[in-house]
Structure 1
Amino acid sequence: MTIVESSHRVVVASRNENPAEWTPFEWEDPVYGPQVKGEVAVIRPDGTSGSVMAGLWRTGRGIAGCAEDGSCLVDYSAPLGDETMVILEGTATITEVASGRTHQVGAGSIVANPKNVDLHWEIAAPFLKKFWVMWDSEIPGTPETDLIIGTISDNPEHWTPYEWVEPDHGPQTCGELTTVRATGSTGTLVTGLWRTGVGIAGCAEDGSSTIPYTAPLGDETMLILEGTAHLRDEVTGEEYELQAGDVVALPGGHPVTWTSHAPYVKKFFVITDANQTTE
């Protein structure tokens, strides 16, 4: 698994990698006291603004805080910030403590846990694995009081063309997106799905596309869901062949060239920035 110390480098890893050492996930919960539940592997250790981290978390037999059969009960009041996750393996029942609402989640579920929203997780045996992005900053945002649930298979009737301005290349349009969460408890947080393909804005006739990209909206952390792509780091010259399951961390303002191969690409993304606000 690739881990870098610099916040100004591209990081590429995979949801399927299994590092030799996982770390027990320990935190001080203001509601439930000291906790040790599951274990974590960090892929993205930081970002260019605020506090952003990303990685993998898992439960199972012989893992800290889990029962003998690998099931696990977790009480978590999200003190570390907004957490956005994709369930990769396993199933769980999540209860919102304040309202009593329950949610059944499994592989493919997107779960957005706003900061300080108290949840009770009942994770079924034999294991669960998730990809997570944790975000916090000192800039006030838009606090949420409810859990937000989606799936990587979400396909609303209307997708929005993705339009942005590249500092050196001007206005750009490539692909289309649907938003799962558009606000953060602190700073700016936007998360959702983005795709390219035949007939989609900015794509060639075969569904491919090539764009200059500097992540101008903030640090971007993504999980490739479908298709293949090529990424060139224009600062270091490093090149990456990306496929479903790969995790990519782009620092805000860092120039890359992104090529989506035909016939399509779909990704889950989280954009964070302490210095912007979402209208």
Structure 2
Amino acid sequence: MNIAQKLPIAKTFDLFRGTRNDNPQDWTSFGWEDPIHGSQVKGELIVIRPEGSSGSLSAGLWRTSPLAAGCRADGSSTVVYSAPVGDETVFILEGEAVITVKKTGKKHHIKAGDVMSHPKGLDVTWEISGPFLKKFWVIWDSPHAAKPADDLYVGNGTGEQNSWVPFEWDEPLHGPSKEGEIQVVRDVGATGTLMCGLWRTGMSSPVRNADGSSEVKYSSPLGDETALLLEGEAVLTVVQTGKQHHIKAGDIVGHPKNLDVLWSIKTPFLKKFWVITDADLPAT
């Protein structure tokens, strides 16, 4: 039996690829219509993943600087933002900011290495320190009505020491699977399935080879996965086509739902920040 008979067909037969250091010539000013605050233009944007398998999914980078639209001469900026087009989940790559939730007045001080997930429609103000801020972002929305929220979800790329648990999942092509450890920062979206958190594998991996390398078969069955590799390197082979992608720390990978991929991990340790999205509501 071939793969197409065993596995639901992915809409895209390749991964989306980018890096946190994408070429500056690709940056453009970021403008949007905020239903609360009107027309806004702040910072610069680059899109790495323009679409997903369901709903509305995009991902890329955003930054501020002394030369970016809407920023002060020292690179600082004030951004009023209500995530109008969907839940936005970010990993701060450079800089720092204080984010205030207007509804409650609660403040969150975020800096490089922090994770933040912003529910759709929640009104906040970013006070960004100069001279630079850069974030990796994933924006997600589905046709379902949004659930109101009162706060942001906040975590850190290091992870909580005692919050790691074994990662187990049902792989449609390969059966029950277990590899690495996971911790979740956000487990529910405003409009559909949205989860984000950290995954790592290392010396204790049950499939680890003597040299520290390992292999993982993964088809992202729970939804589209968009990830930032934080540590390590791997070769990802798309099983349907044989195409290979060599990724390392700092790279961004968009994995379409149900695309069968072999992860050949080349380093004793690997860690990624991941966001999984799907239009179907989570099972209850």
Q: Out of 22, 30, 45, which is 1:25 matched to?
A: 30
Letter in 2 for 1:95: T
| Deviations, residues 202-234 of structure 1 (Å, cap 9, x unaligned) | 544654321221111110000000111110112
Q: Provide the residue aligned with 1:15 in structure 2.
A: 20
Letter in 2 for 1:139: H
Structure 1, 228-237 or 84-93: larger mean CA deviation: 228-237
Q: Out of 238, 243, 250, which is 2:248 matched to?
A: 243
Q: Provide the residue aligned with 1:137 in structure 2.
A: 142
Is the Cα–Cα contact under 8 Å of residues 222 and 268 in structure 1 kept in the other structure?
yes
**Cα distance in 2, alignment partners of residues 44 and 12 from structure 1:** 8
Seq. identity, %: 50
Q: Provide the residue aligned with 2:172 in structure 1.
A: 167
1:141 is displaced (CA, Å) by 6.5
Residue 77 (1) aligns with residue 57 (2): no
Q: Provide the residue aligned with 2:100 in structure 1.
A: 95
| Deviations, residues 72-111 of structure 1 (Å, cap 9, x unaligned) | 1100011111000011011111111111111111110101
Q: Provide the residue aligned with 2:238 in structure 1.
A: 233
1:139 is displaced (CA, Å) by 2.6
Q: Secondary structure at the match of 2:216?
A: strand
Q: Provide the residue aligned with 1:3 in structure 2.
A: none
| Deviations, residues 103-159 of structure 1 (Å, cap 9, x unaligned) | 111110101111111110011111111000000001346543211111101133142
Q: List gaps (5 residues or longer) in structure 1.
A: 1-5
RMSD: 1.7
Q: Provide the residue aligned with 2:3 in structure 1.
A: none
Is the Cα–Cα contact under 8 Å of residues 13 and 241 in structure 2 kept in the other structure?
no
1:18 is displaced (CA, Å) by 2.2
Letter in 1 for 2:112: A
Q: Provide the residue aligned with 1:45 in structure 2.
A: 50
Letter in 2 for 1:11: F
Letter in 2 for 1:193: L
Is the Cα–Cα contact under 8 Å of residues 180 and 205 in structure 2 kept in the other structure?
yes
Q: Secondary structure at the match of 1:75?
A: strand
The within-5 A match list for 1:170-185 is 170-185=175-190
| Deviations, residues 20-45 of structure 1 (Å, cap 9, x unaligned) | 13121111101100111111000000
Is the Cα–Cα contact under 8 Å of residues 136 and 187 in structure 1 kept in the other structure?
yes
Is the Cα–Cα contact under 8 Å of residues 20 and 251 in structure 2 kept in the other structure?
yes
Q: Secondary structure at the match of 1:20?
A: helix
Structure 1, 197-206 or 186-195: larger mean CA deviation: 197-206
Q: Out of 258, 262, 276, which is 2:263 matched to?
A: 258
Residue 156 (1) aligns with residue 158 (2): no
Q: Provide the residue aligned with 1:54 in structure 2.
A: 59
Q: Secondary structure at the match of 1:105?
A: strand
Letter in 2 for 1:115: K
Q: Out of 214, 223, 228, which is 2:219 matched to?
A: 214
Residue 275 (1) aligns with residue 283 (2): no
When the two structures are aligned, how many residues end up with a matched partner?
Answer: 274
Letter in 1 for 2:241: T
Residue 126 (1) aligns with residue 125 (2): no
Letter in 1 for 2:203: V
TM-score (norm 1): 0.93
Distance 1:259 1:60, change over 3 A: same
Letter in 1 for 2:116: V
**Cα distance in 2, alignment partners of residues 232 and 8 from structure 1:** 11
Q: Secondary structure at the match of 1:223?
A: strand
